[in-house]
Chain A
Amino acid sequence: MSEENKYWHILEEFEPIKDARMPKGREEVISPSSRRNFLKVLGLGTASAALIASCKRPVEKAIPYFIKPDEITPGKAAYYASSYFNQNEFGNVLVKVRDNRPIKLEPNPKSVITPNGTSGRVQASVLDVYNINRYQHPLKNGESIQWEAADSEIMERLRQLADSGQPILLFTPTIISPSTKKLISEFVAAYNAEWHQYDAIPMDGYREANRKSFGTDAIPEYHFEKADCIVSVGCDFLGTWLSPVEFSGQYAKRRDLHNGDGNLNKHYQIEAGMSLTGSNADLRIRAERNDYGRILAYLRNKLAAKKGVPATELPAPPQAVAEKLDLAINDLLANEGNSLVICGDNNPDYQVIVNSINQMLGNVGRTIQFERTYNHYRGNEKGIEKLLNSNPGAVVVWDVNPVYNHPESEKIKAAIEKAPLSVALSSLPDETTALCEYILPSPGYLECWDDAEYKDGVVSILQPTLHKLFDSRQAQETVLTWLKDDTNWRDTIKSNWAASYFPKQTEQNDPERFWIEMLKRGEFVTSSNPVSVGYNQNEVEKSLQQISNEKPTEDFTVELFENINIGTGHGPLNPWLQEVPDPVTRIAWDNYASISPAVARQMGIKNGDVIQLGTLTIPAFVQPGQADKTISIALGYGRIKGIPEELITGVNAYPLATVENGFRQFAVSGFDITKTGGFEQMALVQGHQSMEGRPIVRESTLDKWKENPAAGNELHEQIKHHHTTLYQKHEYKGHKWGMAIDLNKCIGCSACVLACNTENNIPVVGKKETARAHEMHWIRIDRYYNGDEENPEVVRQPVMCQHCDNAPCENVCPVAATNHSSEGLNQMAYNRCIGTRYCNNNCPYKVRRFNWMDYTGADAIPNNRYDPANMTVDLSRMRHNPDVTVRAKGVIEKCSFCVQRIQEKKLTAKNEGRQLLDGELQPACQQACPADAIVFGDLNDPNSKVSKMMEDPRNYHLLEELHTLPSVGYLTKIRNKS
């Protein structure tokens, strides 16, 4: 058929088809044969012939799938909806699975609880699965045993104990899984056992107070996004309190100025030690830890007086504090019904007062709602009391570690040792499992089936994304075996869902289809109705009385708090979490006693000097903003059992806690500081605390911003006029990537740092190397103090590679290993880098990281690995993202704007024949940020969110006066000081 007579029979055929995969100009590379080319070919041919002939290559067998499973496409990630739950951390996640290995957790954007982001701990949890310290098979007295043998022995002994009436105690952390709860109740019934939930840091005081005030022991929902004024007394709600990821998102919504209405919340934080939340406050009021009760009473009485409610006279907090509290009181009164008062102390008396304040202000039912109450934090002291006071016949521990984290550690240890039968159902060895006769290991949560009802009526599914790594069995399956029930656990959950939730919906009419739909979505939300609670103020008087009995003391009070990364004691096993510096002190790998600068001066204590506090020997850290008579110490450190030597860091501060009136207290008075003369080198990653007056973080106040949206950012315009160059401006055709960071929304939680670690295979270097400023993080969160050392204001700034269009690093590299892409990315060719570190020296932002030693095992030289955290053993290496090169010793690396994600999304769009959508493409840091502070996108698209943010008068570039022309913009921090 001739060319002219070619008919087309469908319309698409008329269009010539372009081969999308062949970039234009590719053909031109093939040049005609010349003498030069002949020599090239000849040389290559000879060399390859010589190489092939002389080298004996090892035989490597690659066996393809005979029948390929449907879900697995090599090189392509699959995502499964699941959930993470541990203590106070909950996240609906999508598990990214590559070639059968979960490698990354991403927030499930359809979740009603955590759609925006995840916490750092969730990000890091993927590493917990690949932990070589896990129990790998069942044990009896330290010797391995068959599952069947262990089961039959335990069942027989449980039966005997049950028959003889000796108590069988089952300890679990708070269980939020409806199916597991049901299962446990069956176990309790079958063996006449007692089930106790135990939390390392409990909130039973809150539940008790709510029972007294509202007649329900539920912990309500707090709506920070509805609160115009927040008064928090020592409550770290952005870091560790109750549901921080959720609250961060809500809080950040009210720090957003993009819509232009300037409707910022006003945040007062009254606290002794500097917390993450306190460092974000508009006004942080420094107060002693043991004044909290008096502060709450003062707030309550002042408000009561204004509202005409009778008030009881009480000793007032110090004058300086009271004066500032009056400001808060005025704001609270101005925002009745739209305010929120919270307190971070587990003392029920305090919480009763907090409840009365919120009730007076009309917040209950508005910013505090009982519609979807929280199901976690059900633990209390009763179980431990029972363990200590009755001679239990059997103790079954399931992921709880009271020997480590309860003040009565020694007694608990004795009681477990004395019990005739002790069984551990945990996956990781710890201080408690070490005492148990039987250890029946459970796999990690990414290998398990489960469900979770974190909030009433919001039920999620956990599904396995990895075949069980070791000879382990999920604890629920163990219990099923003991119940002689041979249904499989997944089927149990499935039938529970069919019975409980299938009838509550109308979308699906087949339970099987409903189940599959739920697996896809990961979450089921039942409809809910507003719940109104009554209020009973009878207890207030009694609580006030209790508080009036507290006396201010002259000695030191130790305040124990949960660290945002390490948590209650799970973190030390996770090198990623250990290596991320604390967002306030910027110390990694350690806990320490924070003391105020005044006390440090008076006693001649410097950072790292070891001090003695009662029985505790701990290095001191001088913390600006710390109350003089309060010493703050992070919990969760000092784990010894089941941790490799290299990861044992810090000291265990749990023994300092006390139990008062049946409630655990984490603030204890009566301490003296004595210097021991010792010194410990801490891994402090930021030694200098002040900006030295440089315009690095630019800030202003809300009032000024309302007058002039560029307030505090006047320099930007001035500098813009100075940007002149002799060179022609480079034109970026297609995309030009950029990032905008809203400093007003960033709370500093470090989730981005951990997400980046996971995504980009960032090596872990250990405490010693971190102390030598050899840390490898591609993104860091700088923290500066402003003002006096007693009441400093805190600013933060996430800093990653700024992808400068006029990059100082690029022109100094002798081998052109770092260069600029046609889309404005500053890129690193690791293969080309020879490690002169010139780029690093010349980077004004100091974001480049050098592989000082063989941290990853990618180096060609043998026997030189530096891996203090076992991150290069085969099991841990399963975490690696195969899309990102693992860097060898001696090369520079840095933030790539997640170029692998850019490439992937661009290809997807190309294959689908469409343009890339704004927001479709998110680097790992943006994706994890619970506060939505990071926005990434195409600067060539004038309608993209990032372009609009760059146009915001608040936008500036870091060190823009250097004419480096960064692609990252920062939006000024605006404090609400009105």
Chain B
Amino acid sequence: MHVSPVREPLINGEKSYSDITNDVMAPIKAKPGKLWFAGLTISSILMLVGFAMIGYTIWFGIGTWGVNRTIGWGWSITNFVWWVGIGHAGTFISAILLLFRQKWRTSINRAAEAMTIFAVMCAGLFPLIHMGRLPLGFFIFPYPNTRELWVNFNSPLLWDVFAISTYLLVSLLFWYMGLIPDLGTIRDRMKTLWKKKVYNFLSFGWQGSARHWQRHESMSLILAGLAAPLVLSVHTIVSFDFATSVIPGWHTTIFPPYFVSGAVFSGFAMVLTLMIVTRRALNLQQYITVGHVESMNKVIIATGSIVGIAYITELFMAWYSGVEYERYAFMNRALGPYAWAYWIMMTCNVISPQLLWIKKLRRNLTFTFILSIFINIGMWFERFVIVVTSLHRDYLPSSWSMYKPTFVEVAIYLGTFGLFFTLFFIFIRVFPVIAIAEVKSVARSSARKFLGKPTQKQKPEKQ
């Protein structure tokens, strides 16, 4: 098979197949280091504080938060939308990029998918805990009951319930299905009996037979086909929460594409944040290369520019609509009491990703890391701007109000970080961070070891 010299190798440093297995499995086999324990401790403490504050909220009521009669949703829904956005990258990478046959996805899809699942779990928490009566939250499911009560299928919030739960389910399945061959590999390498048994159970007794592979491949393709539209639908439906309302600043038809691209934008940023650290910590620099980072940065430029255009379109439409409430809502975003949030959003999301047009910066890991944090902050503020600044000054000036989060809300948000990182820390120790089987599948065509030897003729690949 001919490989264009333009393509840089996806696996650097003369890695053979067994090197790949050994390198990726090293963290699972080795004893965790002090840094890992420190990280896990900090994140689980954060998580416990967050859970305690959730308990406090359920006990004493939403009144422990800063939301009020005018601003019914504050940090909770901001965080919800933000986390769901973060949760877009994994499935995007594994499903859409799989369908588009992008080989570079193989090194990052596992971690990105795990991140997706953890992020959606964090996201899913918020709509639950922001309910006034969480113990009765099951009312939201259309279950048959003696009172003959039914849910309201007109409500975007109900669509959310289905969208998020479907997305979580499919992402989880997809991720787990991808894990199966690797779990088999781990089982084979495990020396302790109980670990062997556990991994054997988790791998569903994977044998690596041709029939297994054949089923696995078609399953992956089917799930990819299912997951791909979901990537687009989830945030579309989340955006309906706002778009179908009457509130100026929410009532906008541009929201679905704008939200989806924003979600992919923030998801990639989060993947970058995590992977730049993880590759160093787990010694996987040869698998997650600068080339990978650059590819992701290209996605960031694309989605970031879409988001930027969306912001400007919104402003234009507000003016062009001639509706004074719309006009005021956007004037108020840019110049009102929350203008600082708007300009943080504009700087982080519109201006900063444009720097990636410069190749040097695109390939600079430190810069990319800092930029990814900026984008995450910017995207959080985008949601804050949409949720809070639209609500705090809507139609009747008599009800205008201001919003400030309380300690409880901040702690719950930090708690979801705790949850996210606790899960992530556990993940990197029990599951392979890189999809071993998938990387191996592209090794022959993209690893330096095989490309670097021009004398060795390309062998026909078995697929």
Interface residues of A (CB under 8 A from B): 40, 44, 686-694, 696, 769, 772-775, 780, 782-784, 797, 799, 808, 811-816, 832-838, 840-842, 844-846, 848-854, 859-861, 864, 866, 888-892, 958-959, 962, 964
Q: Which residue of A lies closest to B400 (CB)?
A: A688
Question: Once the chains bind, are B133 and A833 in contact (CB under 8 Å)?
Answer: yes
Given A688-B397, A854-B61, A889-B61, do A816 and B150 touch, yes or no (CB 8 Å)?
A: yes
**Which among B66, B140, B146, B399 is the interface contact of A834 at CB below 8 angstroms?**
B140
Q: Choose the segment among B155-163, B297-305, B370-378 that binds chain A (4+ C-beta atoms closer than 8 Å).
A: B155-163
* Cβ-based interface call for B210 (8 A): no
7 A-B contact pairs sorted by A residue (CB < 8 Å): A40-B146, A689-B397, A693-B324, A773-B70, A774-B69, A816-B155, A962-B395
* Cβ-based interface call for B401 (8 A): yes
In angstroms, how far is the closest chain A Cβ from the Cβ of B343? Answer: 23
Interface residues of B (CB under 8 A from A): 58-64, 66-70, 72-73, 127, 130-137, 139-140, 146, 149-152, 154-158, 161, 241, 244-247, 324-325, 328, 391, 393-402
Question: Once the chains bind, are A890 and B62 in contact (CB under 8 Å)?
Answer: yes
Question: Once the chains bind, are B139 and A815 in contact (CB under 8 Å)?
Answer: yes
Given A853-B63, A861-B59, do A784 and B398 touch, yes or no (CB 8 Å)?
A: yes
**Most chain B beta carbons < 10 A, residue from A772, A854, A891:** A772
In angstroms, how far is the closest chain A Cβ from the Cβ of B130? Answer: 7
**A30 to B397 alpha-carbon distance, docked (Å):** 52
**A759 to B137 alpha-carbon distance, docked (Å):** 30
- The total of Cβ contacts below 8 Å across the A-B interface reads 175
In angstroms, how far is the closest chain A Cβ from the Cβ of B23? Answer: 48
Question: Once the chains bind, are B402 and A687 in contact (CB under 8 Å)?
Answer: yes
Question: Once the chains bind, are B131 and A836 in contact (CB under 8 Å)?
Answer: yes
Which residues on the A side are within 8 Å of B131 (C-beta)? Answer: 834-836, 890
Which residues on the A side are within 8 Å of B58 (C-beta)? Answer: 861
Which residues on the A side are within 8 Å of B393 (C-beta)? Answer: 688
Question: Once the chains bind, are A808 and B246 in contact (CB under 8 Å)?
Answer: yes
Question: Once the chains bind, are B60 and A814 in contact (CB under 8 Å)?
Answer: no
Which residues on the B side are within 8 Å of A813 (C-beta)? Answer: 152, 155, 157
**Which among A690, A814, A832, A959 is the interface contact of B158 at CB below 8 angstroms?**
A814
Question: Once the chains bind, are A783 and B398 in contact (CB under 8 Å)?
Answer: yes
Which residues on the B side are within 8 Å of A782 (C-beta)? Answer: 396, 398
Which residues on the B side are within 8 Å of A816 (C-beta)? Answer: 149-152, 155
In angstroms, how far is the closest chain A Cβ from the Cβ of B172? Answer: 24
Given A816-B152, A837-B72, A842-B245, do A891 and B132 touch, yes or no (CB 8 Å)?
A: yes
Question: Once the chains bind, are A833 and B63 in contact (CB under 8 Å)?
Answer: no
Question: Once the chains bind, are A811 and B61 in contact (CB under 8 Å)?
Answer: no
**A690 to B67 alpha-carbon distance, docked (Å):** 23
**Which among A772, A815, A841, A892 is the interface contact of B247 at CB below 8 angstroms?**
A841
Q: Which residue of A lies closest to B56 (CB)?
A: A864
**A604 to B161 alpha-carbon distance, docked (Å):** 51
Given A774-B68, A811-B154, A836-B130, do A844 and B247 touch, yes or no (CB 8 Å)?
A: yes
Which residues on the A side are within 8 Å of B246 (C-beta)? Answer: 808, 842, 844, 962, 964
**Most chain A beta carbons < 10 A, residue from B137, B150, B393, B401:** B401
Question: Once the chains bind, are B132 and A864 in contact (CB under 8 Å)?
Answer: no
Given A40-B146, A835-B62, A845-B395, do A850 and B69 touch, yes or no (CB 8 Å)?
A: yes
Question: Once the chains bind, are B150 and A864 in contact (CB under 8 Å)?
Answer: no
Q: Which residue of A lies closest to B398 (CB)?
A: A782
In angstroms, how far is the closest chain A Cβ from the Cβ of B317? Answer: 17
**Which among B59, B154, B325, B395 is the interface contact of A864 at CB below 8 angstroms?**
B59
Given A690-B397, A844-B246, A889-B132, do A815 and B59 touch, yes or no (CB 8 Å)?
A: no
**A44 to B146 alpha-carbon distance, docked (Å):** 9
Which residues on the A side are within 8 Å of B135 (C-beta)? Answer: 860
In angstroms, how far is the closest chain A Cβ from the Cβ of B193? Answer: 44
Which residues on the B side are within 8 Å of A835 (C-beta)? Answer: 62, 131-133
**A848 to B72 alpha-carbon distance, docked (Å):** 10
Question: Once the chains bind, are A811 and B155 in contact (CB under 8 Å)?
Answer: yes
Question: Once the chains bind, are B140 and A844 in contact (CB under 8 Å)?
Answer: no
Question: Once the chains bind, are A799 and B396 in contact (CB under 8 Å)?
Answer: yes
**A194 to B157 alpha-carbon distance, docked (Å):** 73
Which residues on the B side are within 8 Å of A889 (C-beta)? Answer: 61, 132-133
**Which among A44, A814, A860 is the interface contact of B161 at CB below 8 angstroms?**
A814
Which residues on the B side are within 8 Å of A775 (C-beta)? Answer: 69
Question: Once the chains bind, are A840 and B59 in contact (CB under 8 Å)?
Answer: no
Which residues on the A side are within 8 Å of B324 (C-beta)? Answer: 693-694
**Most chain A beta carbons < 10 A, residue from B58, B67, B72:** B72
**A844 to B303 alpha-carbon distance, docked (Å):** 33
**A889 to B61 alpha-carbon distance, docked (Å):** 7
**Which among A40, A693, A773, A837 is the interface contact of B132 at CB below 8 angstroms?**
A837
Question: Once the chains bind, are A692 and B328 in contact (CB under 8 Å)?
Answer: yes
Question: Once the chains bind, are B62 and A834 in contact (CB under 8 Å)?
Answer: no
Extra 13 A-B pairs, beta carbons < 8 Å, given A837-B62, A846-B70: A687-B402, A689-B397, A692-B397, A696-B397, A812-B156, A813-B152, A813-B157, A836-B127, A838-B155, A841-B391, A861-B58, A890-B62, A891-B132
Closest 9 CB pairs of A and B: A835-B132, A890-B132, A852-B63, A837-B72, A773-B68, A782-B398, A853-B63, A846-B399, A816-B152
**Which among B157, B325, B401 is the interface contact of A814 at CB below 8 angstroms?**
B157
In angstroms, how far is the closest chain A Cβ from the Cβ of B329? Answer: 11
In angstroms, how far is the closest chain B Cβ from the Cβ of A121? Answer: 24
**A838 to B399 alpha-carbon distance, docked (Å):** 16
Which residues on the B side are within 8 Å of A687 (C-beta)? Answer: 400-402
Question: Once the chains bind, are A864 and B396 in contact (CB under 8 Å)?
Answer: no
Given A44-B146, A838-B72, A853-B61, do A691 and B133 touch, yes or no (CB 8 Å)?
A: no
Given A40-B146, A844-B246, do A815 and B152 touch, yes or no (CB 8 Å)?
A: yes
**A762 to B10 alpha-carbon distance, docked (Å):** 67
Which residues on the B side are within 8 Å of A799 (C-beta)? Answer: 396, 398
**A948 to B118 alpha-carbon distance, docked (Å):** 61
Which residues on the A side are within 8 Å of B150 (C-beta)? Answer: 816
**A773 to B401 alpha-carbon distance, docked (Å):** 8
Q: Which residue of B lies closest to A772 (CB)?
A: B68
Question: Once the chains bind, are B63 and A774 in contact (CB under 8 Å)?
Answer: yes
Which residues on the B side are within 8 Å of A772 (C-beta)? Answer: 66, 68
**Which among B136, B241, B396 is the interface contact of A844 at CB below 8 angstroms?**
B396
**A563 to B130 alpha-carbon distance, docked (Å):** 39
Which residues on the B side are within 8 Å of A866 (C-beta)? Answer: 60-61, 63
Q: Which residue of B lies closest to A854 (CB)?
A: B61
Question: Once the chains bind, are B157 and A812 in contact (CB under 8 Å)?
Answer: yes
Question: Once the chains bind, are B61 and A814 in contact (CB under 8 Å)?
Answer: no
Given A773-B401, A864-B59, do A846 and B396 touch, yes or no (CB 8 Å)?
A: yes
